[in-house]
Structure 1
């Protein structure tokens, strides 16, 4: 298999926000992603999708299909009613993959296994797959333990090692610990810089290939190309001094990320 490269709404975060005088619509993002050569578009943490009517969801699905783009969906939380709602949205969009996160403040970790078990069984019967993302509120060891316990082919891990730095986990350790369970990759680069006066650090995004993400090690550990894993580009792009600069840099980062992944997967 070859690498499957995709884009997320997080690669368009500023362009669909109020920072943009003319915020991009969901269809416009999908079309732009297709023009850049993306094969997948992940609608991730994009609250407006919950308000779309059946007709509007059908239109989004049609737009993606006409541009040969596979749709995925992303949310947060593992409450059964919430995931079921997103399962229905996914089906309306023709999406089969849903990314979510365990949020301990909403769902204690000790309740997560029971909550997920029934939902994942139902998702599996409906042809849906769930991926739980690595991030700082839950250690990667706890996340692996949860996925191992549920033990379903319809449940895996969305690997994004930069998210775990705030929990004092090294990206390399997160990659190695989760690799066997990964069913989706979030590709975003990150770096540290000194705060003014040399007091503390600022941890933020970087153009792909210019930061601390060891993409090659991450891809190889998860056997991304061999397993045909979808590699979804995201950004942590700090807001610039003006809307024009912010929107310009987001476009540049997105193009650079697409080019970088292509060069690494030839």
Structure 2
């Protein structure tokens, strides 16, 4: 299934936006686009909501025919337990997270212990944790973590753009993580020369125009066959104005949705 997420609306949902989108606003825009999946990922507002507010989001999602997923950072036990509660209230069956968060960088052994401590509760609730590929851990280290824990409710959220910062080739990351992928963040990216040709900038691009070999990704991971959802994201830098940036963000979203839909037809 193709989905939108809070990173699809990164600038329109930011505090810089003249009319900042609420979580429900993002959810409604998702439904208006004919998209049936929305991932609430790394939006701090969700953590301060009451259960009644969370139930309202879940109610709107049901009314609009949208499935919810959830996302956070870190694997501290208390934090994961809190987000399991949020996921349960929302009716979300997948929680994307990261093995590290800020200064909390657990060792492999500590990460294994933390995940094993919480996964029975996640299994009982029918919620899967998908740890995202990031430069903080190599893709091999992430695979080692997932295979050591060896639990059906633990997998990987694949985003091959992130690990470029660790000098990992996206094709290698895709191949290595494919058996364990439970969620995909889809965004294209490209290098451009900085001013004066001193170094490079790695930033987003509309799907099909950058370095992501999306056909190869789907051929290896087989998301449709395996029921792996794909969430549209952007790495869109702030332009000359927030208004222009939001308009471009909307254009990229429409383009990327069409690109994915045509690739699945």
TM-score range, shorter chain: over 0.9
Match of 1:65 among 62, 67, 71: 62
| TM-score, length-scaled by structure 2 | 0.97
Which residue of the partner structure matches residue 128 of structure 1? 127
Match of 1:29 among 26, 36, 57: 26
Count how many residue pairs are aligned between Structure 1 and Structure 2: 263
1:174 aligns with 2:173: yes
1:16 aligns with 2:23: no
Which residue of the partner structure matches residue 103 of structure 1? 100
Partner of 2:7: helix, strand, or coil? helix
Distance 2:21 2:201 in 1: 29
Cα displacement (A) at 1:20: 1.2
1:252 aligns with 2:251: yes
- Deviations 1:154-183 (Å, cap 9, x if unpaired)? 000000000000001000000000000000
Distance 1:126 1:6 in 2: 22
1:63-102 aligned within 5 A: 63-102=60-99
Which residue of the partner structure matches residue 55 of structure 1? 52
Cα displacement (A) at 1:120: 1.3
CA RMSD of aligned residues (A): 0.9
Instruction: Could you list the structure 1 runs, at least 4 aligned residues long, displaced by more than 4 angstroms after superposition.
Output: none
Partner of 2:243: helix, strand, or coil? helix
Partner of 1:10: helix, strand, or coil? coil
Partner of 1:179: helix, strand, or coil? helix
Match of 1:42 among 39, 42, 49: 39
Partner of 1:169: helix, strand, or coil? coil
Distance 2:259 2:19 in 1: 28
List alignment gaps of at least 5 residues for structure 2: none
Which residue of the partner structure matches residue 230 of structure 1? 229
Partner of 2:212: helix, strand, or coil? coil
Distance 2:264 2:189 in 1: 21
Cα displacement (A) at 1:108: 2.5
Which residue of the partner structure matches residue 151 of structure 1? 150
